[in-house]
Structure 1
Amino acid sequence: MSQELEPKKGRRFAQSLDWNLLRMFYNIAQSGGLSEAARQINKGQPSISMALRRLEEYTNVSLCKRGPGGFELTESGQLIADVSQEIFESISKIPNTLNQASEEIRGRVRLQMITNLVNDSLNRPLEEFHRHHPNVELFISIAAWDVIQRNVIRNEVEVGIGPASQRLPDLSYEFLFSETYKPYCGKSHVLYGQKISSPADLATYRHILTGADEPLELIKFRQKWGLGIQIAGLSEHLEEARRMTELGIGVCFLPTAFAANAVREGTLYELMDDLNAPVSNIFLITNPKALEHPVHKILIEHFRKEISL
């Protein structure tokens, strides 16, 4: 091997390393592949592949195997993935460490939830928490339910709010409230103003689906009655799914609380009074093993107070 190709070592390695490449590889390893990493961090797969290639060139080793058998880390890749995890877990503790140094309760609490939750059991704890601790920043982000769970277990967010179709053993799930889903249509739709006698009556109509945010209970309900085979539209954002429904593009199952204002205004019509409509349970999701800053613990206690009512 020539002198130019010899890998850098020690401090020279650390000083010359593009740390963004290490962070990108950490995301790839945690996600189990390039395409899933691209989806989770909202970047194009070509940029993910380029970052991996640059890190392999810098370390002068192959970090993963890609082929018909799927994605797999090499031995060297696993070593770097383990070191990367330790680095980023240590970095994630910096805000907590800094906050603990302050006598006054300040800092930031990171919540992540599925889109457009409408319920007082979510609003009251946040309102109470802010009233008692106005100097704390509430940082709220939106993600699909599976991403929320992964981010809570990685300590990238302190609190998750969402369904739990598949539970991770290291997380805590506490029931917060339920969402009922019913089918709706817009004014220009042929069904506007009519009530169906059975969900099967909707099987011949085109539906608007909500992608990754669709709860498992609703998926099973649609499959049972043969709904959504004919697709009129798709959006993982409920606001856009509602927009398409109001425009008469198709029938869409929406949470009743989320659709309530549009129903009152007449832009949406509820097609089914069936009490057996699908119900999705929403949970407070936390990591019992996470390093707790007092401000995080206080917010979680506000939610638990709401749960106990």
Structure 2
Amino acid sequence: MDWNLLRTFMVIVQEKGITSAAEKLRLKQPTISNALRRLEGHFDCRLIERRPGIFEVTPAGQRLYAECVVLFNTVSGLHALVHDQPDEVTGRIEMAFASHVVCPFLDEALAEFHRHNPRVTFATSVLSSQEVITAVARKDAAFGVCLMHERNPKLQFQPLYRESFGYFCGRQHHLFGKRGVSMEDLRAEPYVSFKTDQMADALWPIAMLRQQEEFTGLVIGTSSHLEEVKRLIIAGFGFGPLPIHVVEDDVRNGLLWRLPPYENPPEIIVYLVYDPTARRSRAEALLLERLLTQIDATPLERRTYPSVA
């Protein structure tokens, strides 16, 4: 087999199309199409269903893609394997994060890992939580940090930290700067939130609070990214939930104003997600071992933000 066919197939799946793959590889579209046909001919099965407006990787294609990722990760590490000093760890670690992950515990763990392994390089992506889970499942990322939308039985979800959400409004909002605001005052107010602010989704504690308080205000805007939810709140579209510790500087700078509830705000768990069966490079294995060891050694109360103290 021509290994270039596997490389081409992997890029086709990652780029979700023949044309995009051709641009990525700087080849002509007929060349990419021909490579896919040759690969399907070699395996005597359909790997990608492609018709006008439809691009779907078949189950056989999904299995082949997973093996291609493992294969090329192994090949890319051969040079380091041959040339590294026995005790020197090198390599590249791909990580995927949900938007605006703020976790001093994780930052300290990564800083310690870097001090001991300065030649390991990192590449990070910022995605929605569901996209993070998909990236880890497809082995596009070695680890992910995200909310748990729906537990993938093939992945491991380890609680990394806990964060409290509060309601906030921006300077344009008529409740900005007012004290003594009650939950009743919020019930009919326009609302801005995350797409996962649903009873059957990752931010269900916030959705439950909203349901219990019988909020009836129009939902003006939603997003999968914290920065965009915050942007709409600051712009005065409505009030909405944000992680309290993440927006502390915005409150101090007068961009946001905290609204009730002030006690017992809803709490959300953020997870470290990884594939326990994945073949890992030495660098990936060492980092995962370090993270899991430090998580086990640190009570969740010390990984809760804002700090309980």
TM-score bin (small chain): 0.7 to 0.9
Q: Is the 8 A contact 1:183 1:252 kept in 2?
A: yes
CA distance in 2, matches of 1:188, 1:267: 9
CA distance in 1, matches of 2:209, 2:75: 45
Seen in structure 2, the aligned counterparts of structure 1 residues 79 and 128 have a Cα distance that, compared at 3 Å, is closer
SS at match of 2:168: strand
CA distance in 1, matches of 2:71, 2:6: 18
In the other structure, the counterpart of 1:173 is: 157
Give the alignment's TM-score, normalised by structure 2. Answer: 0.73
In the other structure, the counterpart of 2:182 is: 197
Q: Does 2:93 match 1:109?
A: yes
In the other structure, the counterpart of 1:95 is: 76
In the other structure, the counterpart of 1:233 is: 221
Seen in structure 2, the aligned counterparts of structure 1 residues 235 and 186 have a Cα distance that, compared at 3 Å, is same
- Note the aligned Cα RMSD (angstroms): 3.6
CA distance in 2, matches of 1:177, 1:81: 32
2:271 to 272, 279, 283: 283
CA distance in 1, matches of 2:258, 2:111: 31
In the other structure, the counterpart of 1:5 is: none
Q: Does 2:144 match 1:156?
A: no
In the other structure, the counterpart of 1:216 is: 203
Deviations 1:60-118, CA, capped at 9 Å, x for gaps: 99754989xx9987xxx554554444334322332344433322211211111111111
* Counterpart code for 1:158: A
Long gaps (5+) in structure 1: 1-9, 29-36, 42-49
Q: Is the 8 A contact 2:161 2:270 kept in 1?
A: yes
Q: How does 1:40-79 map to 2 (within 5 A)?
A: 58=37, 64=49, 78-79=59-60
Quote the offset at 1:247 in angstroms: 2.6
Seen in structure 2, the aligned counterparts of structure 1 residues 227 and 124 have a Cα distance that, compared at 3 Å, is farther
Q: Is the 8 A contact 1:92 1:156 kept in 2?
A: no
CA distance in 1, matches of 2:290, 2:219: 41
Q: Is the 8 A contact 1:128 1:302 kept in 2?
A: no
Quote the offset at 1:228 in angstroms: 7.4
* Counterpart code for 1:261: D
In the other structure, the counterpart of 2:23 is: none
CA distance in 2, matches of 1:95, 1:276: 49
Seen in structure 2, the aligned counterparts of structure 1 residues 54 and 127 have a Cα distance that, compared at 3 Å, is same
SS at match of 1:232: strand
Q: Is the 8 A contact 1:196 1:272 kept in 2?
A: yes
* Counterpart code for 1:151: A
In the other structure, the counterpart of 2:260 is: 272
* Counterpart code for 1:209: S
SS at match of 2:250: helix
Quote the offset at 1:201 in angstroms: 3.6
Q: How does 1:283-302 map to 2 (within 5 A)?
A: 283-302=271-290
In percent, how many aligned pairs have the same letter? Answer: 23
SS at match of 1:174: strand
CA distance in 2, matches of 1:105, 1:24: 28
Quote the offset at 1:219 in angstroms: 3.5
SS at match of 1:257: coil
Deviations 1:15-74, CA, capped at 9 Å, x for gaps: 8x7964x3466459xxxxxxxx58xx9xxxxxxxx99x957995799754989xx9987x
Seen in structure 2, the aligned counterparts of structure 1 residues 71 and 95 have a Cα distance that, compared at 3 Å, is closer
CA distance in 2, matches of 1:172, 1:78: 22
Long gaps (5+) in structure 2: 21-28, 299-309
Q: Is the 8 A contact 1:209 1:228 kept in 2?
A: no
